[in-house]
Structure 1
Amino acid sequence: MSPRTWLPTLMTAALLPLLAHAAPERDFNSEEGSVKVSTLAEGLRNPWAMAFLPDGQGILVSERAGNLRMVSPEGKVGPPLGGVPEVWAEGQGGLLDVLLSPTFKQDRMVYLSYAEGGGDGGTAGTAVGRGRLSRDNAKLEDFNVIFRQQPKLSSGNHFGSRLVFDRDGYLFIALGENNQRPTSQDLDKLQGKVVRILPDGTVPKDNPFVGRDNVRPEIWSFGHRNQQGAALNPWTGELWTHEHGPRGGDEINIPKPGKNYGWPIATHGINYSLMPIPEAKGEHVDGMVDPHHVWEKSPAISGMAFYDNPRFKPWDHSLFIGALAAQELIRLELKGDKVVHEERLLGELKARIRDVRVGPDGYLYLLTDERDGALLKVGLDL
Structure 2
Amino acid sequence: MVVHKSGFAVTAAALLLASVAAPVLAQAPASPPPAIVPGPTPVTPALSLPAATNVTAQTMVADLEAPWGMAFLPNGDLLVTELLGKLRYVKAGQNWSLEAEEIKGVPTVTAAGQGGLMDVTLHPNFARNKLIYLSFSVGDEAANRTRIVRAKLDGRALTDVQTIFEVTPAKPRFQHFGSRFTWLPDQTLLISIGDGGNPPNSLDGSFIRNQAQNLGSHLGKIIRIKDDGSIPKDNPFVNTPSARPEIYSYGHRNAQGLVRDPVSGRIYATEHGSQGGDELNLIQSGQNYGWPKVTYGVEYGAARTPITPNQSGPGLIDPLAVWSPAIAPSGLAVVRSKKYRGWDGDVLAGGLRLDQGRGALIRVDLDTAGKVIGQERIDLGDVRVRDVRQGPDGYIYVLTTAMRNFRDKGQRNGQLIRLMPANEAPAR
TM-score (norm. length: structure 2): 0.78
For residues 302 and 146 of structure 1, what CA distance do their matches in structure 2 show?
A: 24
Contact 2:270–2:349 (8 Å) recurs in 1: no
Structure 1 letter corresponding to 2:241: D
Write the mapping of 1:367-382 to structure 2, written as runs, cut at 5 A: 367-370=399-402, 371=406, 372-382=413-423
For residues 88 and 369 of structure 1, what CA distance do their matches in structure 2 show?
A: 20
1:276 aligns with 2:296: no
Task: Please state whether the residue corresponding to 1:361 is helix, strand or coil.
Answer: coil
For residues 331 and 236 of structure 1, what CA distance do their matches in structure 2 show?
A: 18
Distance 1:31 1:44, change over 3 A: closer
Where structure 1 has 5 or more consecutive residues not aligned to the other structure, the ranges are 1-29
For residues 365 and 317 of structure 2, what CA distance do their matches in structure 1 show?
A: 22
For residues 285 and 220 of structure 2, what CA distance do their matches in structure 1 show?
A: 14
Pick one of 87, 90, 96 that aligns with 1:68: 87
Contact 1:192–1:223 (8 Å) recurs in 2: yes
Identity %, equivalent residues: 39
For residues 304 and 262 of structure 1, what CA distance do their matches in structure 2 show?
A: 21
Deviation at 1:275, TM superposition (A): 3.7
Contact 1:264–1:277 (8 Å) recurs in 2: no
1:250 aligns with 2:269: no
Contact 1:166–1:239 (8 Å) recurs in 2: no
Question: What residue is the counterpart of 2:394 in the other structure?
Answer: 362
Contact 2:88–2:103 (8 Å) recurs in 1: yes
Structure 1 letter corresponding to 2:415: A
Deviation at 1:31, TM superposition (A): 6.7
Structure 2 letter corresponding to 1:70: Y
For residues 70 and 36 of structure 1, what CA distance do their matches in structure 2 show?
A: 25
Larger radius of gyration: 2
Where structure 2 has 5 or more consecutive residues not aligned to the other structure, the ranges are 1-49, 198-207, 407-412, 424-428
Question: What residue is the counterpart of 2:186 in the other structure?
Answer: 168
Write the mapping of 1:185-264 to structure 2, written as runs, cut at 5 A: 185-264=213-292
Question: What residue is the counterpart of 1:90 in the other structure?
Answer: 112
Structure 1 letter corresponding to 2:289: Y
Contact 2:142–2:171 (8 Å) recurs in 1: no
Structure 2 letter corresponding to 1:346: D
Deviations 1:17-41 (A, max 9, x none): xxxxxxxxxxxxx876442211111
Q: Which has the higher contact order (CA 8 A, sep 6+)?
A: 2
Pick one of 73, 83, 90 that aligns with 1:53: 73
Pick one of 160, 180, 194 that aligns with 1:142: 160
TM-score (norm. length: structure 1): 0.87
1:352 aligns with 2:381: no
Contact 1:35–1:381 (8 Å) recurs in 2: yes
For residues 245 and 277 of structure 1, what CA distance do their matches in structure 2 show?
A: 12
Deviation at 1:281, TM superposition (A): 4.2
For residues 378 and 357 of structure 1, what CA distance do their matches in structure 2 show?
A: 11
Count of aligned positions:
346
For residues 128 and 239 of structure 1, what CA distance do their matches in structure 2 show?
A: 21
Deviation at 1:277, TM superposition (A): 4.6
RMSD: 1.5
Contact 1:149–1:190 (8 Å) recurs in 2: yes
Question: What residue is the counterpart of 1:314 in the other structure?
Answer: 342
